[in-house]
Chain A
Amino acid sequence: MKSLRIVPALAALAAATALAATPAAAQELKIGFVYVSPIGSAGWTYQHELGRQHLEKTFAGKVKTTYVESVPEGADAERVIRRLAQEGNKLVFTTSFGYMDPTVKVARAFPNTMFEHATGYKTEKNSGTYIIRFEEGRYLAGLVAGRMSKTGTAGYVAAFPIPEVIRGINAFIIGMREANPKAKVRVVWVSSWYDPGKEREAAEALIAQGADVIMQHTDSTAPVQAAEAKGVYAIGYHSDMSKFGPKAHLVASTHNWTGYYQAVVDRAMKNQWKAEAFVGGIKEGMVVMAGWGAMVPADVKKLVAEKEQAIKTGKFAPFQGPLKSQDGKEVVAAGKVMPDNDIANMSYYVEGVEGQLPKK
């Protein structure tokens, strides 16, 4: 029965190899991502996914990333975040506003895990937030819209009347009015972050009302497609959406998370990570105007480039005075800039937006 003795010997050898292997594996930083919608090929989540892929490429072998997509906000989110932490992920990115409370709750239960929550405002000792100044991109998009629109009316397909979305609408019309002081924007709320059918119908309803530039704060490419079909212009959001409307797509205000994610992982690997409330925009390379259409003339691109430079050097901010709200009240005096807190809680329209804001 000599052959039977080989088995325990082989088992011991295997165990020894495994043990020898684990120290190397333990150096790997396990990172988890929670996505609110399907990754798709464009949109909010797709841009985060590009960030995650950037991490895999940049830190090859030193990190192991996992992601869970289409996680609804609420109780399900807490379950997923908790599971990621339990599975040994030491750094967890939760990429939607509605994950705020679940993230903070799980962070308290896992003090040795680092958490980063996008677009929120609650922090813990081990849970930070990162906010993107997407309104800078909206403002620049507005400039383009103002210059390119023939009717002077833009249509905005929006999801829910929360401050973040309202902020985007306001920044857009501020930019549009700078290029065309008589411009106005009409808003349709589709009550969903993602419903291609409804988004398309909303875009068509706006076009029927005379809008010839369509902007969106929803997650599918349907509004761009609708604009293409009806022969008007569109501005993409989150990602370059020109593939879905080559003749319509003027430009897209895109989000670039690669730099930020790389910096966070870098700090984490050097044990220098701290929970903080980070805000970044054009200056930090997080908001990028991309997907310029062939129909946009060079002088419009030059204007946008100049304004981008002004924002980068701090000489200009979209919400600087003088600024009036829709009912004529002055909300920012000339020469002043709106404080970050007021920007974050904005729940009124500025001049130039048609229609009333739905009461909460």
Chain B
Amino acid sequence: MIEIAEVVVVILVATLRAGTPLVLAALGELVTEKSGVLNLGVEGMMLVGAVAAIIATLGTGSYAIGTFAGTLAGLAMALLFGLLTLSLRANQVAAGLALTIFGLGLSAFLGLEYRDKPLDGLRPLAVPGLSDVPVAGPLFFGHDIFVYLSLVLFAAVAWFLARARGGLVLRAVGEAPEAAHALGHKVLAVRYAATAFGGAMAGLAGAYLTLVYTPMWADQMTAGRGWIALALVVFATWKPVRVLLGAYLFGGVTIAQLHLQAQGVAVSSHILAMLPYVATILVLVLIARDATRIKLNAPAALGKPFDPGR
């Protein structure tokens, strides 16, 4: 039996890892939805990103190229979705669901040859000296680069949406596209860019799964994380900080309940399995109790197609 402090550190480190794919995918979807586009295809984009990443890494031997490939693959899927919904003005919900199903099948097909080729997996960064400090070492300095990247991206997205002019235009396009159009902003171009960013993030999240988290390819290995990311965006009322909190809370409670079981705690495993979902929903709903504030945060034009020629 190892000490409580050690167990807590182990759980916290694992939480950051478990939450990272959710943070990446949810932040991307947040930006997409802030521009008024509802892309339900996150699971499909994650899977295609995941399989592209492992194929590229196995082919070139470089994790960097693999990560890039995964990101590009997600971006490509998102652009396909953008073409359907922004240029051809198809229904966004239907197109998003179709994208998920397409992604499921495409990734399985592309991954057929790669099912029994495990990878070594990207090693965590080892800052000499600092990583070995007890408690703080592994917690702050012992992670792989994706974890740090996700935190940097979170800061970037939060700053962009709140403070940058581009973020203001993005939010305007999501709230009142007609007004933005009247002011001369290219609504469709902004939405395309936001959708592409969302796809790139989802692809990056998928790449994380196959290159670091469980370094191998297996059909449908995202196991619903894309849907959880989608739900997180809504429950977080489209605020980046709450998305981060929700992602780590969900990941953390999942890890904690597995550790509790391993310890032999006498709570039904069914209840423990529900815990991540219940805890995340509870916390986020309590934070965002004010119904008016929720309405103010939801992009008013979410899911509605915009026709610039009208």
Give me the interface of A with B, judged by CB distance under 8 Å.
Answer: 38, 40-42, 70, 155, 161, 186-192, 194-198, 200-202, 204-206, 208-211, 220-222, 225, 229, 243-244, 354-356, 358-359
User: When A40-B115, A358-B268 are in contact, do A201 and B216 touch as well, CB less than 8 Å?
Assistant: no
Bound complex: CA A186 to CA B261 (Å)? 8
In the complex, the answer to whether B118 meets A40 with C-beta atoms within 8 Å is no
Residues of chain B within 8 A (CB-CB) of A229 are: 121
CB distance from B205 to the nearest CB of A (A): 12
The answer to whether A190 and B266 touch (CB under 8 A), given A197-B223, A200-B214, A208-B7, is no
Binds A, one of B34-42, B54-62, B252-260, B292-300: B252-260
B293 to A: closest C-beta gap in Å: 34
Contact of B258 among A38, A188, A220, A243 (CB under 8 A): A188
- Chain B residues near A204: list those with CB within 8 A: 14
Give, as a whole number of angstroms, the nearest-CB distance from B138 to chain A.
12
Contact: B262 with A205, CB < 8 Å? Answer: yes
**Can you list the 5 inter-chain pairs with the closest CB atoms, starting with the nearest?**
A41-B116, A38-B219, A355-B264, A189-B269, A41-B115
Task: For the complex, count residues of B whose C-beta is within 8 A of A.
Answer: 37
- Give Cα A201–Cα B261 distance, bound, in whole angstroms: 12
Do A244 and B118 touch (CB < 8 A)? yes
- A324 CB, nearest partner CB in chain B, Å: 19
| Interface flags, B193-230, vs A, CB<8A=1, else 0 | 00000000000000001000111101111010100000
Q: How far is the CA of A358 from the CA of B268 in the complex (A)?
A: 4
If the complex has contacts A40-B115, A201-B14, are A196 and B218 also in contact, measured as CB distance less than 8 A?
A: yes
Which residues from A are CB-within-8-Å of B268? 358-359
- For residue B270, CB closer than 8 A to chain A, the reply is yes
Cross-chain pair count, CB within 8 angstroms: 108
Chain B residues with Cβ below 8 Å from A200 are: 213-214
B1-29 residues at the A interface, CB under 8 angstroms: 1-2, 7, 10, 14, 18
* Residue among B7, B214, B261 making CB contact with A222, cutoff 8 Å: B214
Besides A40-B218, A355-B264, A358-B269, 5 other A-B contacts (C-beta < 8 A)? A70-B220, A202-B262, A229-B121, A243-B116, A355-B266
Interface CB pairs A-B, < 8 A, 18? A41-B116, A186-B264, A188-B258, A189-B272, A196-B214, A197-B221, A198-B258, A205-B259, A205-B261, A208-B10, A208-B262, A209-B262, A209-B263, A355-B261, A355-B266, A356-B264, A358-B269, A359-B268
When chains A and B are docked, how far (Å) is the Cα of A120 from the Cα of B224?
A: 28
* Bound CA span A66–B68, Å: 38
Q: Which residues of A contact B270 (CB under 8 A)?
A: 191, 358
Residues of B within 8 A of A40 (CB): 115, 218-219
Task: Point out which of A196, A204, A354 has the most chain B C-beta atoms below 10 A from its C-beta.
Answer: A196
Task: Confirm or deny: B273 has a beta carbon within 8 angstroms of a beta carbon on chain A.
Answer: yes
Q: Are B262 and A155 in contact (CB under 8 A)?
A: yes
B223 touches A161 (CB 8 A): no
Contacts of A222 in B (CB 8 A): 214, 216
B301 to chain A: which residues have CB within 8 Å?
A: none
- Is B108 an interface residue when CB atoms closer than 8 A count as contact? yes
Q: Which residues of B contact A188 (CB under 8 A)?
A: 258, 261-262
Q: Considering only CB atoms, which chain B residue lies closest to A184 in the complex?
A: B264
Q: Given A42, A186, A198, A210, which contacts B254 in the complex, CB threshold below 8 Å?
A: A198
Q: Which residues of B contact A195 (CB under 8 A)?
A: 223
